[in-house]
Amino acid sequence: MASAQNIEVLTTVPFPEAVMGQLRELSPRIKITCIPASKIDEIPREVWQRSEVLYTDILLPDLNLSPNLRWIQFHYAGIDFLQGSELLKHKDLKLTSMSGASAIQEGEYILMMLLALGHHMRGLMKNQEKAEWPDDRWEKFSPRELNGSTVGLVGYGSIGREVARLLRPFDVTVLAVKRDVMHPQDNGYVMDGHGDPEGDYFNRLYPIEALKSMLRECDFVVVTLPLTPQTRGMIGEEEFNAMKPGAYLVHISRGGIVDEEALLRA
């Protein structure tokens, strides 16, 4: 039985010693064992037996070896690899992810891509590298301005909400698709001053069933969905056909959400 005084934590993800020190300073009760591993048998049996908290990437524990395990914190926001896992059947075992933790970085990346795509940054940089100034530059590089455009967010979780917040100075019409349109608030992890916790930053909210209706209005489409059996292949031939000619797609979710063959044909 694990000590009532100490909290035994096992991490299979290596952290810098400075970070480990900060974690240990949280409480003298926290005892952290760090063993970078990708297989169960790379960790001694006695470590599994005493561990109450596991921080891991994709290494899933054998609960027969871990009788004291109460909480698994995953290193990623997307944990689609858990689908069908026996771990989901244990109600006394808390499973948490990094959902929301990278929303600021992801939001900035998406904003960068919206601006770069609309202003043909890739083509401009290629011409710059070749020291060329083409005669048809006005036709090739006339921008689609983000200001005054319509941006559709397919998924209105932590990342989509941060994008909506960042778009506010651009006078953008923000449309969003959300599974439960009756509850626009965000109950997940939100850093102070970021995201859209109260659901105030979109112009219209659509149910998933109305996805194609939303796509028809968008100059830019951003996909921020988790990969689940319901979202796999959600953006396919019909959805691309519904989009405006010349609309831009920024897809930061798992690859399985977008039908890549349909994307190539679009």
User: So what's the pLDDT on residue 4?
Assistant: 60
- Model pTM score: 0.84
Q: pLDDT over 70 for what percent of the chain? A: 98
Single out the residue of 72, 47, 77, 44 nearest to residue 59, CA to CA. 72
The residues of the chain scoring below 50 in pLDDT are: 1-2
- As a whole number, the mean pLDDT across the chain is 92
- DSSP letter at 258 equals B
Sign, CA torsion 193/194/196/198: negative
Domains of the chain, earliest start first: 7-96 (3.40.50.720), 103-265 (3.40.50.720)
Q: How far is 91 from 88, CA to CA, in rounded Å?
A: 7
